[in-house]
């Protein structure tokens, strides 16, 4: 608990900072450097925050619960599949040291704990859990995901070719299940559009590399 003689930390600033520090630890674990060429986790968390806040406003979810959960949802990512549970444990220990409303802390922890999995057989129980889950998965779809993925690959892998990136992108087999698992109507619409954009990107890129646009006109028309 917070020392009574110490003022509580401003929770938004503190949550952002503790999450950023967690991304540096993960980068060191994954890439061998706390200063990678591309900090995938920080990019992902910022995307989830943006999407979650917009979804919260569209659906009526509690903005404070969503904001805190969005910043902290991957704070224990180094733990792998245990990271939602351990992230919830962290939130219960960390947020009382801040000026976050104490009566909402357990809701934040539950929301973080619920965000596991790329698809679901059954919907989540609370609106806040649904919103964070949808936002987290939306950030793994579409053109945003493509750029995050390429950046993360280039930061942490050996030499890659464009053909290798295309092959790996086309080997993804979970996205349709993710789209079908979206809880909220805005997220479902966005997920369907993002999946289409993701597939179109790699199809057009492969066609350009093969020179198909010279015969089939898949690319922009030349102007004289």
Burial of 7 (0-12, 13-18, 19+ CB in 10 A): exposed
- Rounded CA separation 87/96 (Å): 15
- H/E stretch holding 126 reads none
Which phi-psi region, left, alpha or beta, contains residue 100 (left: φ > 0; alpha: ψ -120 to 50)? beta
pLDDT in tens, 105-154: 999 999 999 999 999 999 999 999 999 999 999 999 999 989 988 887 77
Q: What is the pLDDT of residue 5?
A: 66
**pLDDT tens, position by position, 25-64:** 999 988 888 988 889 999 999 999 999 999 999 999 999 9
Find the angle CA(194)-CA(199)-CA(205) to the nearest 5 degrees.
Answer: 125
Q: How far is CA 148 from CA 42, 59, 62, 101, 142, in A?
A: 10, 27, 28, 33, 10
pLDDT, mean of residues 179-194: 98
Task: Name all domains of the chain by residue range, CATH numbers in brackets.
Answer: 11-210 (1.10.3210.10)
* Reported confidence tier of residue 223, pLDDT bands at 50, 70, 90: very low
Percent of the chain with pLDDT over 90: 73
Q: Is 3's pLDDT higher than 60?
A: no
């Amino acid at each position: 608990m917070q020392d009574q003689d110490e003022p509580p930390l401003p929770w938004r600033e503190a949550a952002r900072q503790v999450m950023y520090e967690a991304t540096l630890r993960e980068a060191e674990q994954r890439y061998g450097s706390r200063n990678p060429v591309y900090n995938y986790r920080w990019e992902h968390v910022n995307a989830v925050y943006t999407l979650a806040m917009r979804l919260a406003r569209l659906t009526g979810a509690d903005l404070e619960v969503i904001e805190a959960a969005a910043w902290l949802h991957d704070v224990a990512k180094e733990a792998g599949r245990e990271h939602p549970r351990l992230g919830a444990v962290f939130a219960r220990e960390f947020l009382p040291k801040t000026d976050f409303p104490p009566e909402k802390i357990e809701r934040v922890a539950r929301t973080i704990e619920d965000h596991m999995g790329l698809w679901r057989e059954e919907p989540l129980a609370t609106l806040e859990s649904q919103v964070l889950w949808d936002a987290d998965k939306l950030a793994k779809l579409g053109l945003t995901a493509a750029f995050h993925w390429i950046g993360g690959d280039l930061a942490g892998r050996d030499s890659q070719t464009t053909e290798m990136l295309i092959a790996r992108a086309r080997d993804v087999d979970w996205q349709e299940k993710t789209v079908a698992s979206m809880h909220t109507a805005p997220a479902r619409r966005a997920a369907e559009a993002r999946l289409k954009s993701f597939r179109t990107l790699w199809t057009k890129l492969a066609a350009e590399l093969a020179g198909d646009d010279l015969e089939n006109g898949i690319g922009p028309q030349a102007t004289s």
